[in-house]
Amino acid sequence: MPLRRAAVATLTLGLLLATAACAAEEPAGTPRKTPRPTPTASATPTPPPVLAPLRGTVAPSGGLDRPSLAAKIDNHEGARPQVGLERTDIVFEELVEGGLTRYLAIWHSDLPEEVGPVRSVRPMDPDIVTPFGGIIAYSGGQEVFVDMMMAAPVVNAVFDFDDSGLFYRDDLHESPHDVIVRAGELVGRHTDLPAPAAQFSYAEGASVPTALVEGTPNSVVQQRFSDSRWPSWGWDAGSATWLRSQEGAPDLDAAGAQLRASNVVTLLVEIDDYSYEDIPRTLMIGTGEAWVSTGGKTVHGMWSKDSAAGSIRLVSDIGTPITLAAGNSWVELVPSSGSVEIIP
């Protein structure tokens, strides 16, 4: 009896297993389902940083959605120290009558509430400011020069025509070196204007500025505009900037700090001395020698500008485009009658 029961149990178990196996089999002709992989979350690519067009530095998101402001800044001894000059993106120094110089300064990345003292325009200013677009502020000028600037594709803010309080005379300087413009308010009235396009190429990422690759180490860049104006730039390793002097003395801002630049771009330019009597006109459309000083080194090359709207192109002696370091720049428009000396 025990053996029979065991056989029956074994038979029953076999039948159950066979039935289960048959139930598990799929009907003939039924397509097999391919298992789907479990979806995994894909990494969102990080957008590249937005660079300030006139400095090449990383810009805060949405923080530079405004036009640039250019202003004609006085460089007479009576105008020093200037207001806001230390916060510029780019400054052009140009020869004016009497062997003096004047600045056409550009602000975009860092906009002060006030800048000045502002003075009158000169015939080369439309060719300098046109590529930036935006706004230009100045005190006035000869009618022919004002008409030239009014014809340029920029918004003109002129002290002589101001009836809305954008300009005032301060108590720190004597007339005519005392006209200040409320820069923040002026730009705030024109937020519909676009931001400026980049004017120079900057070293990005792992790349380095051209002067550090192709240039020669030097300690001083000396420029002579005339017997009255000879600015210079000395390399300061501690701050990693070029420090500015004028006529052998440190050039100071309103806080008593020496003016400085990440890049000094020196261009040898021709001067038209005849078209406007005693008013020299720097010829900005053309070509000439260039020296670009960055990081304690200077690279020699050529500059060119093919139209009023065109930006300045810089090429080294071996034919490569010159890139600048991220930061502010001063452009020295030295007349061919002057001189440029790169001092080791």
Spatial distance between the Cα atoms of 103 and 122, rounded to a whole number of angstroms: 11
The CA-atom distances, in angstroms, between 207 and each of 142, 213, 252, 322 are 46, 10, 33, 12
Identify the CATH number of the domain in which residue 74 sits.
3.50.90.10
Nearest residue to 261 via CA among 232, 288, 223 = 232
Burial of 77 (0-12, 13-18, 19+ CB in 10 A): exposed
How confident is the model at residue 1, as a pLDDT?
33
- The single residue listed with the structure tokens 């900057």 is 202
Residue 301 lies in a domain: yes
Spatial distance between the Cα atoms of 236 and 296, rounded to a whole number of angstroms: 8
Confidence of residue 206 (pLDDT cuts 50, 70, 90): confident
How long a stretch of residues is the chain?
344
Confidence of residue 326 (pLDDT cuts 50, 70, 90): very high
**74 and 117 Cβ atoms separated by less than 8 Å:** yes
Residue 57 lies in a domain: no
Its domain, for residue 252, covers 69-343
Residue 4 lies in a domain: no
Residue 278 lies in a domain: yes
- Phi and psi torsions of 259, nearest 5°: -65, 145
pLDDT in tens, 81-108: 999 999 999 999 999 999 999 999 999 9
Query: Which is it for the CA torsion 314, 242, 229, 108, positive or negative?
Result: positive
Residue 162 lies in a domain: yes
pTM, full prediction: 0.86
Residue 50 lies in a domain: no
Q: Print burial letters for 228-256: b (CB count within 10 Å at least 16), e (below 16).
A: ebbbbbbbeeeeebbbbbbeeeebbbeee
Counted domains in the chain:
1
How confident is the model at residue 42, as a pLDDT?
57
